[in-house]
Amino acid sequence: MVASRQPSATSVQRDAWVEVDLGALEANVRVVRSWLPDSVELMAVVKSDAYGHGAAAIAPVLVAAGARWLGVASVDEGLQLRHAGIRTPILILSPCPFWAMSAAVEAGLDITVTAMGQVRDLLAAAERLGKAARVHIKVDSGMHRLGVDPACTAEVARAICGSELLTLVGFFSHLARPGHAGTTAWQNDVFRTALQSVVSLGINPKIIHLASGESARRFPDTHYDLVRVGLYLYGLEPRAVSAVVTPVMSLRARIVQLKEIDAGESVGYDLTWTANRRCRIASIPVGYGDGVDRGLSNRMTGLLMGTQVNQVGLISMDQMLFDVTDVPQAGIGDVITLLGCESGLPAAPDAAAGRAINMAAWATALETITYELACRLRVRLPRVYTRHSATTVKSGNR
């Protein structure tokens, strides 16, 4: 750990950390809620450690801000939240392996079924425990990834409701192109037809849900009883800088070494970058082992004392280098911001203004989506939780 002259939140574990702005998170919940009528509930999707933001720490904040449900991908993610003391309804969005169903039922997690065989396995687990299981039927409305065939949904619903140990709580599906009006309308029609086949039997699921963030924002007829929102809560859109929500995550690291090199000298593995002048090179302790894609080598920038500085050389597992020649006052311990803005406030929407670096720029460079990049940063970087200030609210070693 090195000292710095800059006022900044910091980690006590490492000289590189992810900063999570809880104030921005709460503001984003309010934005999402503004798209919905009061009768529609919000499920905050916190799978993959809340897209790299730290699920156990931010789930209570999301719930306090207005999320009535939480969504996870697996039994272990749900159990981690239960072990953290979170009692909010939690839906496991993917099918559970039969050997984990007892643990899910015991913890009071809501369980998704996508086939009749899973209903039988879940009933067996509930009978072993003598405890009722909460079930959601997922319908394949056209994405063809997971879900009960629409023609079979009535049969599956009848099987669930035929046992006193299974409670049909929810009925849902997943949109393949949630921002596309035509595809969404087509899937919505398939979904409604499957739902009607269940309702016609006198079976009425308590919670109907279809929309994710983009469809919740654009298509009110997909709202039903609940919407499932992930990326928007974290201030991100898949490929673009969002104009409606504020990025929650920043990534920062302290300079641990400064070295001057002459024109013609090269740096890093394979010597991929060569100085064209006498340069001052800063090393920071973050690399692809922390989730910063090696494909960003020689293509990304950082912010240092109000100046945009270029990353140079190949990004290695634990280190990367920046050319800080144009910031002669920079010293050991000073902070380079790789994502977000320098002040510790949420990233400015206009990243082109140079005041902030948004994850969408990384996604564009790598021809991928921000979902993937945010999730990668959950690997080993400590999290520091703030609220629009340099004062640390909570720090955790991830």
Per-residue pLDDT tens, the chain, 398 aa: give them: 555 566 566 656 789 999 999 999 999 999 999 999 999 999 999 999 999 999 999 999 999 999 999 999 999 999 999 999 999 999 999 999 999 999 999 999 999 999 999 999 999 999 999 999 999 999 999 999 999 999 999 999 999 999 999 999 999 999 999 999 999 999 999 999 999 999 999 999 999 999 999 999 999 999 999 999 999 999 999 989 999 999 999 999 999 999 999 999 999 999 999 999 999 999 999 999 999 999 999 999 999 999 999 999 999 999 999 999 999 999 999 999 999 988 644 444 444 444 789 999 999 999 999 999 999 997 789 999 998 643 333 334 33
Residue from 47, 232, 234, 288 carrying the catalytic annotation: 47
pLDDT of residue 11: 59
Q: Is-catalytic flag, 269?
A: yes
Residue from 51, 269, 371, 394 carrying the catalytic annotation: 269
Place of tokens 């340069």: 279
Give the CA angle between residues 220, 226, 230 to the nearest 5°: 90
Side chain identity at residue 345, one-letter code: L
Q: Which residues contact 222 (CB under 8 A, 6 or more apart)?
A: 175, 184, 188, 210, 211, 215, 216
The span from the CA of 333 to the CA of 240, in Å, is: 32
Task: Report residue 234: phi and psi, to 5°.
Answer: -95, 10
Q: Which residues contact 305 (CB under 8 A, 6 or more apart)?
A: 6, 327, 329, 330, 334, 342
Q: Which residues contact 23 (CB under 8 A, 6 or more apart)?
A: 346, 386, 387, 388
The span from the CA of 258 to the CA of 261, in Å, is: 10
Q: What is the rounded end-to-end Cα distance, in angstroms, of the chain?
A: 17
Query: Both tokens of residue 40?
Result: 């529609």
Task: Report residue 54: phi and psi, to 5°.
Answer: 100, 85
Query: Both tokens of residue 170?
Result: 């929810």
The span from the CA of 307 to the CA of 355, in Å, is: 9
The span from the CA of 327 to the CA of 305, in Å, is: 7
pLDDT of residue 346: 45
Give the CA angle between residues 250, 47, 218 to the nearest 5°: 80
393 neighbors 386 (Cβ within 8 angstroms): yes
Task: Report residue 230: phi and psi, to 5°.
Answer: -120, -80
The span from the CA of 81 to the CA of 88, in Å, is: 9
Provide the angle, in degrees to the nearest 10, between the axes of the packed helices 116-129 and 153-161.
Answer: 10
- DSSP letter at 139 equals B
3-state secondary structure of 53: coil
pLDDT of residue 5: 62
